[in-house]
Amino acid sequence: MKILFATDTYFPASNGTTTLLYHLSGKLVGQGHEVHILAPGVSIGGESYVQDNGAIVHGVPTIPIPLYPDFRLPVLPVLKRVVRKHFNNIEPDVVHIHHHFIIGKAVFEVAKERDLPIMGTNHFMPDNLIHYFPIPGFLVDRVRIFMWSKMFAVYENLDLVTTPTTIAVDVLKKVGFKKEVIPLSNGINLERFSGKIDGGKMRKKYRLANKKVLIFVGRLDEEKRIDLLFKALPAVAKKVDIQLLVVGKGILRKKLGAMVRELNLGDKVTFSGYVSDKDLPEVYKAADAFVMPGDAELQSIATLEAMASGLPVIVANAVALPMLVKNGKNGYLFKSGDISDLSHKIIKVFSDNKLRARMTRESLMMAKSHDLGKVSLLYESFYKKLVANRTREEKVAGSYQEANKFLVPALVTVGLVMIMVVAYAFGGPTTIHAESAKIIAKINPKVLATRSVSTIKNGVSRVETTVKENIASF
Coil/strand/helix, residue 119: strand
Which pairing describes strands 72-74 and 62-64: parallel, antiparallel, or unpaired? antiparallel
The rounded distance, in Å, linking the Cα atoms of 452 and 441 is 12
The whole-number pLDDT of residue 433 equals 43
| 207 within 8 A of 239, measured Cβ to Cβ | no
Dist. CA 132–CA 125, nearest whole Å: 13
Continuous H helices in 309-371: 339-350, 353-367
- pLDDT attached to residue 69: 79
Q: Long-range pairs for 316-322 at CB < 8 Å and ≥24 separation?
A: 316/225, 316/292, 318/294, 319/125, 319/167, 319/168, 319/171, 319/295, 320/164, 320/165, 320/167, 320/168, 321/292, 321/294, 321/297, 322/167
Query: Are β-strands 160-163 and 47-50 bridged in parallel, bridged antiparallel, or unpaired?
Result: unpaired
What spatial distance separates the first Cα and last Cα of the chain, rounded to whole Å? 63
Alpha carbon distance 236, 354 (integer Å): 19
* Element (DSSP H or E) covering residue 74: strand 72-74
Which residues fall within 8 angstroms of residue 127, CB to CB, at 6 or more apart?
A: 144, 223, 295, 296
Q: Which of 318, 281, 313, 326 is nearest to 297 (CA)?
A: 318
The three-class DSSP label of residue 406 is helix
Tell me what pLDDT residue 398 has.
Answer: 58
Assessment of whether the complete model's pTM goes beyond 0.85:
no
**Residue-level pLDDT at 468:** 43
pLDDT at residue 209, rounded to an integer: 82
Q: Hey, what domains does the chain have and what are their CATH numbers?
A: 2-188+373-392 (3.40.50.2000), 190-370 (3.40.50.2000), 404-468 (no CATH)
| Secondary-structure breakdown of the chain: helix, strand, coil percentages, each rounded to the nearest 5 | 55, 15, 30
8 Å CB contact between 25 and 55: yes
The length of the chain, given as a count of residues: 474
* Contacting residues for 416 by C-beta, under 8 A, at least 6 apart: 436, 439, 440, 463
Q: Which amino acid is at 195?
A: G
Q: Which residues of 212-233 are buried (b: 16+ CB within 10 A; e: fewer)?
A: bbbbbbbbbbbbbbbebbbbbb
Residue 49 CA to residue 57 CA, distance in Å, equals 5
Sheet strands (E) in 212-360? 212-217, 242-247, 269-273, 289-292, 313-316, 331-334
pLDDT at 395: 62
Distance between CA atoms of residues 346 and 94, nearest Å = 46
Which residues sit opposite 79 in a β-bridge?
Answer: none
What are the pLDDT tens digits along the chain (474 aa)?
999 999 999 998 889 999 999 999 999 999 999 999 999 999 998 899 999 999 999 999 999 988 787 789 999 999 999 999 999 999 999 999 999 999 999 999 999 999 999 999 999 999 888 888 888 989 999 999 999 999 999 999 999 999 999 999 999 999 999 999 999 999 999 989 987 899 999 999 999 988 999 999 999 999 999 999 999 999 999 999 999 999 999 999 999 999 999 999 999 999 999 999 999 999 999 999 999 999 999 999 999 999 999 999 999 999 999 999 999 999 999 999 999 999 999 999 999 999 999 999 999 999 999 999 999 999 999 999 999 998 877 666 555 555 555 555 656 555 555 655 445 554 544 444 444 444 444 444 444 333 444 443 444 444 444 434 443 443
The distance from CA 229 to its chain's CA centroid, rounded to whole angstroms, is 30
**How much is the pLDDT for 465?**
46
Rounded distance, CA 104 to CA 285, Å? 36
Burial class (CB in 10 A: 0-12, 13-18, 19+), 238: exposed
Q: Parallel, antiparallel, or unpaired: how do β-strands 47-50 and 56-60 relate?
A: antiparallel
DSSP 8-state code for residue 445: T
